[in-house]
Amino acid sequence: MSFSQLGLRAELLSAVTAQRYPSPTPIQARAIPVILKGRDVLAGAQTGTGKTAAFTLPMLQLLSNGSVGAVNGRSPRALVLAPTRELAAQVESAIVTYGKNLQLRSTAIFGGVGINPQKSALQRGIDIVVATPGRLLDLVDQRSIDLSSIKILVLDEADRMLDMGFINDIRRIIKLLPERRQNLLFSATMPRSIAKLADSVLDRPFRFQISPKKSVVQEIQQEVMFVEQAKKRHLLIQIIRENQVDQAIVFMRTKHRANRLAQQLNRARTVSYTHLRAHETLR
């Protein structure tokens, strides 16, 4: 599968070529043609899968060929909601990268910085707004943004937005949008709260789940050793000594065992400094 088979226009293909991506990632191959047809999408996809380009490229195409509203209007026609300012800035920068050969205007809106430059950007006329929910509502309340022309809504990292308590803000924002629009929802996990949100926001969505890219580096050699419970600690110390390991991460099932092993390794003086701790989920 190559990018040229996805139905993207030349201006977008050349921007992708400039990025030297060898081929579309699975989520791009599946989502781009569907979004170009105007369908709603519910995608289970984590960061690192190429999800940003999966919604940005077709969104730019739909906006640029005028199929979703006037090209010269001043009100935004696409809205991307993101949980954090870092993500909002990252998505907006992807829009700039992929849209460099098109005449679309975008801006990122988030809290923690002055509101006036954001107001000025909106006054100049914007096609795509990437925003965190709280600051967007501040601008709505100050009548600095009109969401009545939005034709495409993207909820990026929807599960994180719900975890951060944005559900009421999201519902308020959605009430300000026209009923007829295309909705794209991306979420790393699919808890019940997301299913409920998807039911109320999406219209007969195309659904798919993308498993994260395998993150095992080729250079890492993996080995499994079967050993009795009582001998595990001795074997670990032996491996550390024989291989002169000076940096290692040991994952344990429980916090208690991690603490106990840390003490045992310290006592055995295998390494000058041992710092082990039971991690919560690594995101």
**Interface residues toward ligand AMP, by CB under 6 A:** 21, 24-25, 28, 47-53
Q: CB 89 → ligand AMP: shortest distance, Å?
A: 13
Helix 133-141 × helix 116-124 angle, to 10°: 70
User: By C-beta, is 61 or 270 nearer to ligand AMP?
Assistant: 61
Q: Which residue is nearest to ligand AMP (CB)?
A: 52
Amino acid letter, residue 272 = S
User: By C-beta, is 57 or 131 nearer to ligand AMP?
Assistant: 57
User: By C-beta, is 28 or 132 nearer to ligand AMP?
Assistant: 28
Q: CB 125 → ligand AMP: shortest distance, Å?
A: 27
Three-state DSSP state, 49? coil
User: Quick count: other Cβ atoms within 10 Å of Cβ 225?
Assistant: 8
Compute the Cα dihedral for 44, 46, 201, 196 and give only its sign. positive
User: By C-beta, is 128 or 236 nearer to ligand AMP?
Assistant: 128
User: By C-beta, is 52 or 118 nearer to ligand AMP?
Assistant: 52
Task: Find the length of the chain.
Answer: 283
Q: CB 56 → ligand AMP: shortest distance, Å?
A: 8
The residue whose two tokens read 């890492």 is: 220
User: By C-beta, is 30 or 51 nearer to ligand AMP?
Assistant: 51
Cβ-contact 185, 42 below 8 angstroms: yes
At 235, list the tokens.
Answer: 């074997």
The kind and range of the H/E element at 36 are helix 26-36
Q: CB 46 → ligand AMP: shortest distance, Å?
A: 7
Cβ-contact 54, 198 below 8 angstroms: no
Q: CB 28 → ligand AMP: shortest distance, Å?
A: 6
Number of helices (H) and strands (E) in the chain: give both, helices first: 11, 7
Q: CB 53 → ligand AMP: shortest distance, Å?
A: 4
CA dist 6 and 28 (Å) reads 9
